[in-house]
């Protein structure tokens, strides 16, 4: 079990004394390391548990998960044993939908997250573009336009071989997502870039319909990967949203 947990969960800045744990779920084609800046920005008040999906980085030799429901259940199974404090969830793009589904299952088990932070993602029930049938060059052009991937990776044939299958696999898996209706009870905080070609501000605001709790919307300057330039500002939103659970002046 310990080996299984170590494959799924990354602690880039362990904070055993932190008041809150934040489970961070990557975007399509993304990896846990995307959240390293988040871990540094929130330390020591919040401990970031970044999820590493199979089929990427140090898990590149493991088979991809091709079904969204299976990814949800396996993510939950990996995360649940790590939770020993109040928890919040943060997901970007595809990760926002996954965070929503994990939050619902935690609530069904009697664990109510402090908040669900849905970043750069369309809410359940809204159409999501599935580009798994695109050619490699089309995929590269698309992700280059989104400005979320290091150009050195896009220009390297060896690196393309490593990251394009994960991206295509995630896009294909997104086609298996089915929204079954229930809302979460925890507060939902939607975050988005004002120049996001994939998610409009209206899309981001529509997350309000998926919680019976409080809803907040924060719009940052930037595109789909606005986070790259906004880690500090996002950290402030998180600490303020978590309120009394995070000590004043930290994070």
Question: Would you call 108 exposed, middle or buried from its count of C-beta atoms within 10 A (0-12, 13-18, 19+)?
Answer: exposed
Question: 244: which residues sit within 8 A by CB, 6+ positions away?
Answer: none
Dihedral sign from CA coordinates of 210, 216, 219, 224: negative
Q: Which of 27, 92, 210, 224 is catalytic?
A: 224
- Catalytic: 93? yes
Sheet of strand 9-10, all strands in order from the earlier edge strand to the far edge: 9-10, 46-51, 20-25, 87-92, 116-119, 188-193, 215-220
- Catalytic: 224? yes
CB-facing half-sphere around the CA of 243: CA atoms within 13 A: 5
> Which residues are registered as beta bridge partners of 55?
none
Q: Which of 27, 31, 92, 93 is catalytic?
A: 93
Q: Supply the residues annotated as catalytic.
A: 93, 224
């Amino acid at each position: 079990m310990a080996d299984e947990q170590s494959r799924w969960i990354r602690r880039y800045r362990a904070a055993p004394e932190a008041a809150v744990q934040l489970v961070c779920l990557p975007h399509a084609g993304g990896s846990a390391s995307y959240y390293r800046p988040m871990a540094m920005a929130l330390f020591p008040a919040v401990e970031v548990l970044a999820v590493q999906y199979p089929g990427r980085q140090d898990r590149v030799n493991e088979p991809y998960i091709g079904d969204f429901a299976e990814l949800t259940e396996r993510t939950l199974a990996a995360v649940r044993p790590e939770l020993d404090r109040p928890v919040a969830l943060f997901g970007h793009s595809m990760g926002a939908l996954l965070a929503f589904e994990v939050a619902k299952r935690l609530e069904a088990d009697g664990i109510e997250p402090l908040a669900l932070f849905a970043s750069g993602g369309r809410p359940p029930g809204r159409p999501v573009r599935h580009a798994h049938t695109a050619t490699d060059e089309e995929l590269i052009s698309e992700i280059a336009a989104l400005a979320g991937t290091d150009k050195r990776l896009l220009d390297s044939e060896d690196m393309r071989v490593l990251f394009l299958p994960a991206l295509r696999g995630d896009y294909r898996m997104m086609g298996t997502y089915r929204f079954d209706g229930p809302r979460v009870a925890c507060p939902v905080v939607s975050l988005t870039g004002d120049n996001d070609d994939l998610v409009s501000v209206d899309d981001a605001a529509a997350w309000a319909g998926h919680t019976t709790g409080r809803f907040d919307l924060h719009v940052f300057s930037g595109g789909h990967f606005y986070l790259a330039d906004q880690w500090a500002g996002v950290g402030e939103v998180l600490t303020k949203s978590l309120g009394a659970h995070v000590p004043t002046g930290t994070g």
